[in-house]
Chain A
Amino acid sequence: MEIERNAVLKVANINESCILFLEEAENKKEVISRLSKLLFENGYVKETYEQAVLDREAVYATGLPFEEMGVAIPHTDLEHVNKTGIAVAILDKPVPFNVMGGDNEVVDVNIVFLMAIANLENYVVFLKNLISVFQERGNLIRLKESSNAAQFLITFNQIFANV
């Protein structure tokens, strides 16, 4: 399946100030809350977003065990979002998330992509391409090894521009 990489870059709209490197986080709630605040401060989401994501995560978990590492893609309904964007947490010490579709299975997550999606068409483009890219060997490791937000963005852009 063709990966529409550039479509991701158009939609993703990552702001350097929404990329967080965490040496340690107590649990997934802390990660989601901190990332939600960044999205809120940068105007991407409404105040209701944080709780809405936490509530959804409790019912429909978003942990995905890729071969190279665990990734989580928390999100929630469009009504809590002003404009499409994502916040990213790179976790030194992985944090457990429940596995999407799993029966109380848990995956240790190293990168959290908190998605604020303002329209469903963007969402589908985004998710479909993101998971395809995460399945390609080396991409997640490259992202994880970024030493700061600027470098993460460069790597992210390189991967999705297929450089």
Chain B
Amino acid sequence: MKKILLACGTGIVTSTAVAQKLRVVLDERGYAGKYEITQCKIVEAAPISANYDFVVVTTMAPPGLKSPHVSGIPFLTGMNVEPTIERIIELMEE
């Protein structure tokens, strides 16, 4: 089970939009049931990040993250999505 932390400014709005897209991507690639996504506010991300396999952020990555991070913005704009998905799949396989 991979633990994914999804952080945005409010911990709700942008991260929920990104979470839905991310679930579709992961399920399509056969990871259904093999991950869990937790949403949080960006200001809360660094201290809890060590408990997660990787972090998806929709703001600038905050200092002090203890696990790898990926930008979730491509899921919002549709631009540069493929490299983002490839990086996430790499992290899922680690």
Contact = CB atoms under 8 A, between A and B. Distances in A.
Pair from one complex: yes
Interface of A: 1, 56, 59-60, 64-67, 75, 77, 99-103, 120, 123-124, 127-128, 131, 134-135
B12 A65 contact: no
B13 A60 contact: no
Interface stretch (B30-38, B45-53, B57-65, B86-94): B57-65
Contacts of B13: 75, 120, 123-124, 127
Contacts of A134: 77-78
B66 to A, nearest CB: 19
B79 A1 contact: no
Contacts of A56: 9
B71 A101 contact: yes
Given A1-B20, A127-B14, A127-B17, A65 B77 contact: yes
Q: What DSSP secondary structure best describes chain A's contact surface? A: mixed
A67 B79 contact: yes
B16 A128 contact: yes
Nearest to A135: B78
A79 B81 CA distance: 34
Given A60-B59, A101-B58, A101-B59, A128 B73 contact: no
A89 B70 CA distance: 31
B17 A60 contact: no
A128 B20 contact: yes
A120 B79 contact: no
A123 B77 CA distance: 17
Contact of B16 (A59, A75, A100, A124): A124
B58 to A, nearest CB: 5
Contacts of B17: 124, 127-128, 131
Give 7 closest A-B pairs by Cβ, nearest first.
A135-B78, A60-B9, A101-B73, A128-B17, A124-B16, A127-B17, A131-B76
A66 B79 contact: yes
Contacts of A75: 13
A43 B24 CA distance: 38
A112 B23 CA distance: 28
A120 B12 contact: yes
Contact of B76 (A67, A77, A100, A120): A100
Contacts of A60: 9, 42, 59
